[in-house]
Amino acid sequence: MISLTREDWSEIYYSLEMKSLALRQGKYGQEDEPGQDAEWIAHIETVREKIGPDGATAALEGVERSK
């Protein structure tokens, strides 16, 4: 099992934020399928919610594996 610090979780949280922003700005090229970017953004937002602002939730409580 890997132990992550609050700083690690914070970095993961902001990496997801940057990925989401890049998708919204169309910096990953054209969509392969209609709605694909919107689905990716929604998934990223779900993961960010689990991690919590600045990774605080994950650092304090841990994060269960997503299915």
Task: Provide block-wise average pLDDT over 10 residues at a time, the chain (67 residues).
Answer: 82 91 79 77 90 79 60
- For residue 1, the one-letter residue type is M
pTM recorded for the entire structure:
0.71
pLDDT of 67 reads 47
pLDDT at residue 18, rounded to an integer: 92
Contact 58, 8 (CB under 8 A): no
